[in-house]
Structure 1
Amino acid sequence: MHYRQLGRTGLNVSVIGFGGIPIQRVSQEEATAIVHRALDKGINFFDTARGYTDSEAKLGEVFKNCRSKVIIATKSMARTKDGMAADIKKSLDTLGVDYIDLYQLHNVKDRAALEQVFKPDGALAALKEAKKAGVIKHIGITGHIRDYLVEALKSGELETVQFPFNAVEAGGAQELFDQAEQARAGIIIMKPLAGGAIRNTNLALRFILEHNVSTVIPGMDSPVQVDENAMAGQELLPLSAAEKKVLDEESGTLGAVFCRRCEYCQPCPQGIDIPTVFLLDGYYTRYDLKDWAKERYRALPTKADSCAECGECEEKCPYNLPIRRMLAESAIRLGK
């Protein structure tokens, strides 16, 4: 396994990391076997979150016997100082560790959230206090909307940035790459397989590793997936022209029905959070996290079946997606 430095943190992380979302759907016994296989393959960077149900707990059960071998990253949607402080404590307790290597502001997706976390009583203040106390070592941010991540990095407060980047969602990322380099922030790539939509795993991961990223964190829920993902980080072979053509052709087939979560479709006149609906639908259809996706869908204040079919979203979508049809299909699946 190859390793790269995670920005200015000084941490050397495996170029293939471990995404902790799919671990929710396996037993503790299975999770233990999967994590040990990852460790055997040289994977040392594990990413989870407060919001991933029992992901922290399952990983923590393994980490208590091999803490020195792993770099733990987790994250919270808390926006206030008190809320983040509480979540940091919960993560420490759930993971069963004395410190967490990287704690991230999770899914900062709009200006209100960005401004709130940077306020004196915002989430960043709690993270800085926890870092001073030694219970977290480094602070990062995650999100899908690149403009807000670029702005956040300009603060100089953040040591890492995590965002989606893959063969489908490659366009428009250069500004964020450049800002991360300027800030000496480590780059963590999530959704490397476009939420499971890209099936040619090896080519997809190698495509990303040709860029100046620190680590890529595909989700894994079986030892076979670990083996397949780890292979891409062992030799760092650039894509041949023929391989690039194969990946381009597969990515092109997703273009008609794939939401990149750019949020140009927002706001919806009916109040539907369209990108979130499609994100949850992806968890339902591609990750097989049906119950988890439906539970979160039920918590949305406005459901997909509230669509009035006005078409404003489709007029604003830069990818010309058939959003009205996609919402109707999502409503059927998630509303069961």
Structure 2
Amino acid sequence: MNYRALGLTGLKIAPVGFGGIPIQRLDQNNVNLIIEKLYHEGLNFIDTARGYTTSEEMIGKAMSLVGSEHFIVATKSMSRTYDEMKADIEKSLLNLKIDVIDLYQCHNVKDLDQYALIMSENGAYKALLEAKAEGKIKHIGITAHSADFMRQIIREMPFETIQFPYNIVERHGEDLFEIASKRGVGVIVMKPLAGGAIQNGTLSLKFILSNPNISVAIPGMDQLEQVVENAKVAKLDISFSQLEMDEMNEIVSTLGEAFCRRCGYCLPCPQGIDIPTQFLMEGYLTRYNLSEWAITRYEGLAVKADACVSCGSCETKCPYNLPIMRMLKNVVTQFELAQNQK
């Protein structure tokens, strides 16, 4: 295994890590087997989140059987205030059954307003700094989907890592990764399979790991076979055949017609719809097989896709010329079908 540095944290990690979203649908025994297989395959980076329902807790139980000292553990919270983040850190420690968390991240920060709240006197970052001083966490990171937002903070932010989408189709973060690398900031790649839209996982992981600015990619895994296949990629010397190059071009051509990169250029919507989030939830519903979780999250949105009045404002701003209005109608249809099948 060719381990990589996670920025300047001093942590050495396998280039492929474990994304903890999909195990929510598994039972504890299967999670135990997967975590054990990670250990035997040399994959030592685990990423989860407070918002992934039972993920933290199941990972904690599984690690206690294998030995948590074999893993570098990252989790994250959507909390934006000091009190909320302080409580979430304690909950994560309890769930994960460890005394110190290697990396704690501010989860899915969308814009400068949220960032300002996090960094304020009573913001979440203060709680993270205190937890670090107390030895409860080692390092502090941030995750986001908006390249525009990240470009506004990347050069001066105090975070030690960033987590951002990147794959064969979603390449809008490449300039961010270069800046981060020069600053010594670790780069964690989420959505390496574009939320399940890319079927050739080996090819997509090879593409990601060919970027020298990437520290680790974290595909979700809920099967032992996936752990084995992903571990093989982590051990490869990366090179591409002409056949693979042709396949990557075909993937871009196929998905590029109606694939949301979550860049946020379509916002604000006059009706208040968070458009990228609608497509994110639809992806969890149709590609991750997380129906109950996706439906709950979708129903909890203040404004859903059915509020679209087809004004077309979003489509005039989309740099990828996506048929957003049609895609929003599909979101409505997919969630209606899922609700009817319950």
* TM-score of the aligned structures, taking structure 2 as reference length: 0.95
Counterpart for residue 95 of structure 2 = 94
Instruction: Tell me, yes or no, if structure 1 residue 131 matches structure 2 residue 127.
Output: no
Instruction: Tell me, yes or no, if structure 1 residue 193 matches structure 2 residue 193.
Output: yes
Asked if the contact 1:142–1:149 (Cα under 8 Å) also holds between the matched residues in 2, the reply is: no
Q: In structure 2, what is the Cα distance between the partners aligned to 1:31 and 1:291? A: 19
Asked if the contact 2:165–2:173 (Cα under 8 Å) also holds between the matched residues in 1, the reply is: no
Counterpart for residue 306 of structure 1 = 307
* Deviation, structure 1 residue 156: 4.7
Give the CA RMSD over aligned residues.
1.2
Counterpart for residue 146 of structure 2 = 145
The within-5 A match list for 1:1-336 is: 1-65=1-65, 66-170=67-171, 172-211=172-211, 212-335=213-336, 336=339
Larger mean CA deviation between 240-249 and 302-311 belongs to 240-249
Asked if the contact 2:145–2:263 (Cα under 8 Å) also holds between the matched residues in 1, the reply is: yes
Larger mean CA deviation between 239-248 and 186-195 belongs to 239-248
Larger mean CA deviation between 148-157 and 323-332 belongs to 148-157
Q: In structure 2, what is the Cα distance between the partners aligned to 1:174 and 1:47? A: 21
Letter in 2 for 1:199: Q
Q: In structure 1, what is the Cα distance between the partners aligned to 2:203 and 2:158? A: 34
Asked if the contact 1:149–1:161 (Cα under 8 Å) also holds between the matched residues in 2, the reply is: no
3-state SS in 1 of match to 2:196: coil
Size of the aligned set, in residue pairs, is: 335
Q: In structure 2, what is the Cα distance between the partners aligned to 1:215 and 1:181? A: 13
Q: In structure 2, what is the Cα distance between the partners aligned to 1:269 and 1:68? A: 50
* Deviation, structure 1 residue 239: 1.6
* Deviation, structure 1 residue 311: 1.1
Letter in 1 for 2:257: A
Asked if the contact 1:71–1:101 (Cα under 8 Å) also holds between the matched residues in 2, the reply is: yes
Q: In structure 1, what is the Cα distance between the partners aligned to 2:329 and 2:162? A: 34
3-state SS in 2 of match to 1:63: helix
Asked if the contact 1:141–1:149 (Cα under 8 Å) also holds between the matched residues in 2, the reply is: no
* Deviation, structure 1 residue 298: 0.4
Q: Structure 2 unaligned runs (5+)?
A: none
Q: In structure 2, what is the Cα distance between the partners aligned to 1:155 and 1:134? A: 25
Letter in 1 for 2:58: K
* Deviation, structure 1 residue 149: 2.3
* Deviation, structure 1 residue 71: 0.4
- Give a deviation string over 1:54-87, Cα, whole Å, max 9, x none: 0000100011231110000000011111111111
3-state SS in 1 of match to 2:195: coil
3-state SS in 2 of match to 1:46: strand
- Give a deviation string over 1:10-39, Cα, whole Å, max 9, x none: 000010100000011111111111111111
3-state SS in 2 of match to 1:73: strand
Q: In structure 2, what is the Cα distance between the partners aligned to 1:144 and 1:307? A: 22
3-state SS in 2 of match to 1:9: coil
3-state SS in 2 of match to 1:8: coil
Q: In structure 2, what is the Cα distance between the partners aligned to 1:156 and 1:197? A: 32
Letter in 1 for 2:51: G
Asked if the contact 2:164–2:173 (Cα under 8 Å) also holds between the matched residues in 1, the reply is: no
* Deviation, structure 1 residue 276: 0.4
* Deviation, structure 1 residue 153: 3.2
